Structure formats: structure tokens, C-alpha cells
Amino acid sequence: MFAFVTLVLVLLGGPGASALDNGLALTPTMGWLPWERFTCNVDCLEDPENCISEQLFMQMAELMVSEGWKDVGYEYVCIDDCWLASKRNKDGTLKADPKRFPSGIGHLANFVHSRGLKLGIYQDVGTLTCAGYPGSFGYYDIDAQTFADWGVDLLKFDGCYYKDIESLVEGYKYMSIALNRTGRSILYSCEWPLYSRPFQEPNYTEIRQYCNHWRNYGDILDSWSSVKSILAWTASKQESLVPAAGPGGWNDPDMLVIGNFGLSWDQQVTQMALWAIMAAPLFMSNDLRHISPRSKGLLQNKDVIAINQDPLGKQGYRLRKDKNFEVWERPLSNLAWAVAVLNQKEIGGPQKYAFSTSALGQGLGCVPACFITQILPVKEELGLYTWISLLKVLVNPTGTVLLKLQAYQPDEYSSHTTGVGFVSNNDTNDYSDYDDNNATSDDIISIITVLEPL
Ligand code: GLA
């Protein structure tokens, strides 16, 4: 019991330390990142459409505006590895590959800014980037200044080819300070805990002070087993991860691979729902030129994005694992909760899961009552529930049902109200709707009548 109470307090507490003081990432960052989909394709002769080149980023920027991505919040067009020339300039400054980025990064930044978007770039704390291009080690100040001069808005700082754990940690800190010193607002995306964990348990209080988000776990792949392993790992470490997240600093479970090849529809729904629960940065790694309307609709779903971007800024957690079902929940602003029910069974058809609302929102999600909306896989008003209702959902194999619970606030009602019951046919205390969970909006009107708003 003590352990459970402690876990609850830990998970509900705010972040243990102040965030990096650059005023950025007050909600999880949203944007596009090529790595998972385009990797290190540098063959612009054979594959000009898909190679890492300025053309690719310009096309994505155009589409982010014309196809509604920007309107729903995707803002950062990011460059990942393999943009560099094989050597620095003679003066030590970085240089983009002249063939693939003939106009240079400054020009690309202007282009992206002219579309109302922001540009992200990639470098590495060590001597080489993960793909073997010149790293920032020994050049932190010069590189930070170069990025600022070019008009870069985000730096993803990888952790390959570091000398030792001390230089890795010091390098991440140093680059944060160097970016800050440039005077330009540059969001700082780290992989510090991912690389330091083999040597020491990450100190998230410290990491939060230097980074706007941080990768904890290995690279995502375009597969269900990869998404599944990220979820399992995150749940296993949630006692330390969840309190670390908050406005200004977020755990980063890696890119969204929705719209690619490896995830079924239900698995795409699961990724979107759980990335919202985890308050994850939403970096799509897909081809915005070729994406199905269904995947696009999922990635642009405003209700899910609103959960991800909730201003309270608390990360959700796995509440329970019940055979093949997992229930996750996340506190939201205005006494609301997001709840995700994931069916891990990889055989059979849709499965029913029934559980009491009293388990949700730390026992308070539906006190005295709540209105529940199913957000995914399709939007549906489920109606009004009390704190002791039985909630039933039907979940496809490897799929997720995402719900939003909106609590009624007792102080909005007169003090003589001691409880709340469903009212059907104008009869107070008729619990028939509670029994079959068929509360409708008529019931809400009735309930409000009974509760006599002040
Ligand atoms: C690492 C990172 C990836 C990607 C590649 C690029 O593996 O974790 O996200 O940036 O490097 O080489």
C-alpha cells in the first residue's frame, strides 16, 4: 500500500527542477524529422526524390503549410544526420554538403521562416556524428554561433563518438550554454540520458536544466515490435521519467512513424494515442508527399493533439496491466483526464475490456461524475458516468481506445447537493443508465437540473 501511494505521489508531482530557461518547448515540440523514413540516403544521382538534400526539406516545408500540418501545430522542419560536408571549412566552421545543399543552410532557414515555420539541425557531442560526419567536439562555441548565424531554431544533439562519460555529460551542458550565449532562441534536443545510462542512472533534475527534451531509449524503427518495446521500457521506468517531464523539458520516445510501411492501422492509432499520453514531442518521420488520408487524419487529429499539448504539461503513466490489456492515464488541465486502453493481444478479434471508473484519475477522475468522449479510433460521445460506473471498451488487437474524461466540478454546484445520480424519465436516482452505461446528453441536462448550478 505504501509503495502504491508513493508511486501515485511521485507520478502526480510536478517536475523536480526548473526547466532550461530559454522559454521554449512549453508544450511538447511538434515537427518533422527525416531520420526514420529517409535515413542517410545521400545518393541524389540515383534517388533525387528521397536523398537528404535542401530540396527534400523545402518540399516538406511547402507541404507542411499547404496540407494543413502547420495549422494543427507541426512547426519545426528538422534536418537530421548526413547534411554535412565530409570536412569543416579551413576556419573551423561547419559546411553543408555543397552538392546536396548548394544554397546553404542560411538560405534554407530563410525559406522555412518565410513559410512561418522553424528550422531544426543536427550535430553530435562527440568527434563524429553517428553516420560519421564531423562532430562538434572541440567546436561547441563555433558551431553554436554558426547555427545562430544561419537562423537555426532547434538543435538535435546526438551522442555518438564521445571520448568518455565525463566529456559526454560536460559536452551536453556546454552546448546548452553555448547556444544560450548566442542570444538566439534555439530549442535544444538531447540524447544525453540514452548515452549516459550505461554508466550512471540519469539525473533528470540536471538534464532538465540543460535540455528541452531528451531521448532515453534506442532508435525507433518502422515496426510494431519497436513501438511496443518503447512503451514497455517507458512503463518500466515511469517512476523516474514521469516526474522529469513538464513545461520546458520532455522525455522523447522518438519519432512518429505513422504513415509509413510497418504499422497496421490499429498500431498507428496506438502510437498516436500513447505519444499523447506520454506528452511526447511529436516529430513525424514520414513522406508528406505520399501519405494516406487516413494516416494524415490521425496525425492531424485535433483532439489527440490537444491532449498531447495540454498546458498542464504532466506526462501520463501506465496505471495497470491486466492480462493483455494496459490502461494508461494522463492528468489534463481543467480536471480532465486522458485514458488509453491498449490491447496487447496479437491474435483474435476485438476484445471487450470492462473496468470501474473509480480506478481512473487517481480515484477522482469521475467524482462525482464525468462525461466521457472516445477520441480514438473514432470520436464518439460515450455519455455521463459516475465514480462507480462500469466502463466498457472494445479494443482491436494491438490497437488502443483513447478516451477523455471531463469531470464535473462540485464547487460549481449548490452546497446542499450531496451526490449525483442519473436521471431518466425525470426520476431522480434512477440508476438504470448507470447499469447499462447508456447515459445520453439528455441525462446531462437532467443532472444539471438536479445539481442546481449556482
Ligand atoms: C542516432 C540517433 C537517431 C539519428 C541517427 C543519425 O542513432 O538516435 O535519431 O539521429 O543517430 O545518424
Write the pLDDT tens digit of every residue in 351-407: 999 999 999 999 999 999 999 999 999 999 999 999 999 999 999 999 999 999 998
Mutate to test the pocket of ligand 1, among 124, 219, 285 (most ligand atoms within 8 A of CB): 219
Ligand 1 center to 81 CA (angstroms): 7
Q: Measured between alpha carbons, how far is 106 from 154 in angstroms, rounded to an integer?
A: 14
Q: What is the pLDDT of residue 70?
A: 98
Ligand 1 and 130: CB distance under 6 A:
yes
- DSSP-derived letter for residue 161 is S
H or E stretch at 406: strand 400-407
Residue nearest (by alpha carbon) to ligand 1 atom 11: 130
Ligand 1 center to 327 CA (angstroms): 31
Ligand 1 and 190: CB distance under 6 A:
no
Instruction: State which amino acid sits at residue 370.
Output: C
Q: Measured between alpha carbons, how far is 268 from 297 in angstroms, rounded to an integer?
A: 11
43 part of the active site = no
Below-70 pLDDT ranges, the chain: 1-17, 409-454
Instruction: Report the predicted TM-score, pTM, of the whole model to 2 decimal places.
Output: 0.89
Ligand 1 center to 279 CA (angstroms): 21
Instruction: State which amino acid sits at residue 452.
Output: E
- Residue-wise pLDDT for 72-120, tens only, equals 999 999 999 999 999 999 999 999 999 999 999 999 999 999 999 999 9
How many C-beta atoms surround the C-beta of residue 347 within 10 A? 6
Burial 212-248 (b: 16+ CB within 10 A, else e): bbbbbbeebbbebebbbebbeebbebbebbbbbbbbb
CA atoms within 13 A on the CB side of 393: 29
CA dihedral 30, 36, 41, 46 (to 10 degrees): -100
Q: Measured between alpha carbons, how far is 352 from 344 in angstroms, rounded to an integer?
A: 13
Dihedrals phi, psi of 343, to nearest 5 degrees:
-100, 110
Largest pairwise CA distance in the chain: 84
Q: What is the pLDDT of residue 19?
A: 85
How many C-beta atoms surround the C-beta of residue 99 within 10 A? 12
Ligand 1 and 219: CB distance under 6 A:
yes
Q: What is the pLDDT of residue 144?
A: 98
